[in-house]
Amino acid sequence: MYRVGRSTGAGRAEQGRQTDGKKVCAALLSGAPSERFRPPPLRSGVVLPLPVAGAGRASLLHNTDLSEKSEHAVCPSPGVMSPALAEEAPQEAGEGGSRRSSWGLLAAAGLGGTLVALYAVATPFVTPALRKVCLPFVPATAAQIQNVLKMLENRSGSLVDIGSGDGRIVIAAAKKGFQAVGYELNPWLVWYSRYRAWRDGVHQNTKFHISDLWKVSFSHYRNVVVFGVPQMMPQLEKKLEKELECNARIIACRFPFPCWIPDHTTGEGIDTVWAYDLKRSRGCKTKSLEITPETES
């Protein structure tokens, strides 16, 4: 082996070769080696210093040793990815794909839940329009409520609102002292009516039922309020005439009954209210007790 002196020229040459080697390794690890950094040719007779642990000084190796170990060098060949990077790349790709898949599932679940909620809320409002007799929900105006209460003056007893909607008539009648009941087919409106009655403090005098009006008997009510449409009024007229007592009063809003003659009318336009006393419309007569004279035997 040749020994290299500690002269200034030889030291600078060795430092230059080490610096070039580091630059080449860095370029090759980046995967895009530059033409600027090519491995310098090894000259014969050149020895590179390597640190020796515990010795505190450098040992010299011949260039033939470097050529034998060049096949096992740390720096990879140009364009080749290191094994560590090659293992991390598929893991990162898999994690990114799983994140995208999770976000896709969440978006699909959110959209599906929104559609189901819209269907559940909208169906009770749309279904009445698809029936043979279309009976949509139209809230009562303030003028209609006042006209109904006017027709209920000097009246008492139980009251029923056929097609109570959001419960405005029932709540207003309960505030006047009536035991008021509402029948409505839309469950959302029934639940909302119960909430309004509780909020206004009349929930003890009100009841709301989810039921079809054609399946309910109104025989025990003395006051009946109807928000109907022309297609249903003839059939409803026959039903009420059959079930109600002679002292009952029927109040029709928006549309009158076809055969009965109203006893009282108030309001104008869509706020018009008709009141029918069933004892006059039916021609009821008060039953009198007949006393027959006793005959002596």
How confident is the prediction along the chain (297 residues), in pLDDT tens digits per residue?
Answer: 444 444 455 556 556 566 655 665 565 555 554 455 455 555 544 444 444 444 444 444 444 444 444 444 444 555 555 555 555 555 665 666 677 777 777 777 776 777 666 645 555 555 555 455 556 778 899 999 999 999 999 999 999 999 999 999 999 999 999 999 999 989 999 999 999 999 999 999 999 999 988 999 999 999 999 988 888 899 999 999 999 998 999 999 989 999 999 999 999 998 999 999 988 765 555 433 333 344 443
Quickly count: other Cβ atoms within 10 Å of residue 102's Cβ.
10
- Adjacent-strand bridge partners of 51: 58
Q: What is the rounded CA–CA span in Å between residue 23 and residue 169?
A: 90
**205: which 2 tokens?**
């005098």
- Residue 92: CA count within 13 A, CB half-sphere: 6
Q: What is this structure's pTM?
A: 0.55
Q: What is the rounded CA–CA span in Å between residue 194 and residue 216?
A: 20
- Tens digits of residue pLDDT in 27-38: 555 555 445 545
- Adjacent-strand bridge partners of 180: 159, 206
Instruction: Report the pLDDT value the prediction gives residue 98, as an integer from 0 to 100.
Output: 72
User: What are the two backbone dihedrals, phi and then psi, of residue 138, each rounded to the nearest 5 degrees?
Assistant: -130, 115
Q: What is the rounded CA–CA span in Å between residue 157 and residue 266?
A: 22
Q: Name residue, tokens 């399946």.
A: 215
- Tens digits of residue pLDDT in 125-155: 555 554 555 567 788 999 999 999 999 999 9
Identify whether the C-beta of residue 287 lies closer than 8 Å to the C-beta of residue 259.
no
Task: Output the DSSP codes for the chain.
Answer: -PPPP--HHHHHHHHHHHHHHHHHHHHHHTT---TT-PPPPPPTT--EEEE-TTT-SEEEE-HHHHHHHGGG-SSPPTTPPPHHHHHHHHHHHHHHHHHHHHHHHHHHHHHHHHHHHHHHHHHHHHGGGGSSS-----PPPHHHHHHHHHHTTT--SEEEEET-TTSHHHHHHHHTT-EEEEEES-HHHHHHHHHHHHHTT-GGGEEEEE--GGG---TT-SEEEEE--TTTHHHHHHHHHHHS-TT-EEEEESS--SSPPPSEEE--GGG-EEEEEHHHHHT--------PPPPP-
Q: What is the rounded CA–CA span in Å between residue 194 and residue 171?
A: 10
Residues 6+ apart with CB under 8 A from 82: 29, 76
